[in-house]
């Protein structure tokens, strides 16, 4: 086949001093951009999952800092830095698990620290945020090529949640690998979990694959064991919101169970994430903060109650897959097979962002 991997979706753009985000809560029924000129509103958009996926969250937050600078453009020389710092706080508090958020905000703070005036801060932060967006897309293409090369032709792949263009600046992490592998004719079928409770697989992964002309089959999470036992699937390919220094990886709830199933059935398990997702300050997965979300997300579906009145819900947004269950971590700086602390430390020492 060897056709170019389709890539038509861009969920984040900055134009005329405003941030535009594709509202992922409305997909696939409606494709609508929301426009923001207030950093507090960007923080709310991240928290409310207008934009989601660790790389996309970081990029959106970076543009939120740009907006914060623009809003205090007329402040006095003594007032603008405290005002921008105050505006960054709600951005940092919006989603606690995605380390890309804090990585991006740290980069933006460093840029601001180097600016002697608010005018220069407005210009420099915009350039930095745009560079992050462009670098993310380029990194995703590198990861796509690296991961696809590991897939032996002739079998299907299974993915979880949404790790494509919608979760990044464009092209995707795990879904970028799948796009590349499909374009190279390495993959016979693509399966995607529904991914309760927000149905990112059903609503988002299916939408963007079909929009780019790539066929996909959905399954409920409970069907994954039977699918893997069938022998049709060669790899489970997922993303990550934070990876500890020892290779433990936090990702959308349900990923850990898939890793156990993959190991039980002799199926490869691949995690795809940029190096910025690795938090070298955290030694192991037990230290990763796990976001707990509203019970209503589990007790209802699409805003409609479905559970028996009076039922409670336990709703962690993420779980942690031990490094021992991961066959390879693919990053924009190379792949680490059988990841451990030493293997990831090699990535840390490599030059580049």
Crossing angle of helices 118-148 and 54-71, in 10° steps, is 170
Q: Any idea which residues carry the catalytic annotation? A: 241
Phi, psi for residue 39 in degrees, rounded to 5 = -65, -30
Supply the DSSP symbol for 221: G
Residues 192, 217 contacting (CB under 8 angstroms): yes
Structure tokens at 229: 């036992």
Residues 171, 56 contacting (CB under 8 angstroms): no
- Cis ω on the peptide bond leading into residue 28 (within 30° of 0)? yes
Distance of CA 180 to CAs 9, 147, 281, 335, Å? 15, 8, 32, 16
3-state secondary structure of 347: helix
Show the DSSP H helices in the chain as ranges: 39-47, 54-71, 80-92, 99-113, 118-148, 174-183, 200, 206-211, 224-229, 255-264, 296-299, 341-349
Burial class of residue 35 in the structure, from the number of CB atoms within 10 Å of its CB (0-12 exposed, 13-18 middle, 19+ buried): exposed
Strand order from edge to edge, sheet including 318-321: 278-279, 242-244, 249-252, 318-321
Structure tokens at 290: 């796990």
Residues 73, 119 contacting (CB under 8 angstroms): yes
11 Cβ contact partners less than 8 Å away, ≥ 6 residues apart: 21, 22, 24, 51, 56, 165, 166, 169, 170
- Residue 149 CA to residue 28 CA, distance in Å, equals 31
């Amino acid at each position: 086949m060897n056709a170019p991997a389709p890539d038509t979706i861009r969920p984040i753009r900055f134009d005329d001093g405003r941030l535009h985000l594709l509202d992922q809560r409305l997909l696939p029924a409606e494709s609508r951009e929301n426009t923001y000129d207030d950093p507090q509103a960007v923080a709310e958009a991240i928290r409310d999952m207008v934009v989601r996926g660790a790389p996309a969250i970081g990029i959106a937050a970076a543009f939120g800092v740009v907006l914060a600078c623009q809003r205090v453009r007329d402040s006095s020389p003594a007032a603008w830095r405290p005002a921008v710092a105050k505006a960054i706080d709600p951005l940092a508090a919006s989603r606690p698990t995605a380390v890309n958020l804090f990585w991006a905000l740290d980069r933006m703070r460093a840029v601001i620290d180097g600016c002697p005036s608010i005018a220069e801060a407005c210009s420099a932060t915009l350039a930095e945020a745009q560079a992050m967006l462009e670098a993310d897309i380029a990194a995703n293409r590198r990861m796509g090529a690296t991961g696809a090369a590991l897939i032996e032709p002739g079998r299907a792949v299974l993915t979880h949640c949404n790790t494509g263009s919608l979760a990044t600046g464009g092209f995707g992490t795990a879904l970028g690998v799948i796009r590349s592998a499909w374009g190279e004719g390495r993959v016979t079928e693509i399966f995607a979990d529904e991914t309760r409770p927000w149905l990112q697989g059903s609503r988002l992964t299916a939408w963007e694959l079909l929009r780019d002309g790539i066929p996909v089959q959905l399954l409920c999470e409970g069907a994954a064991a039977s699918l893997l036992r069938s022998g049709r699937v060669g790899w489970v390919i997922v993303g990550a919101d934070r990876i500890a220094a020892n290779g433990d990886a936090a990702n959308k709830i349900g990923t850990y169970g898939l890793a156990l199933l993959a190991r039980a059935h002799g199926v490869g398990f691949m995690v795809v994430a940029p190096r910025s997702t690795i938090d070298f300050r955290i030694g192991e997965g037990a230290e990763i903060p796990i976001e707990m979300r509203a019970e209503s997300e589990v007790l209802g579906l699409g805003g409609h109650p479905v559970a028996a009145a009076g039922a409670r819900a336990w709703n962690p947004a993420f779980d942690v897959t031990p490094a021992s269950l991961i066959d390879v971590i693919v990053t924009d700086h190379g792949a680490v097979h059988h990841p451990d602390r030493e293997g990831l430390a090699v990535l840390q020492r490599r030059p580049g962002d």
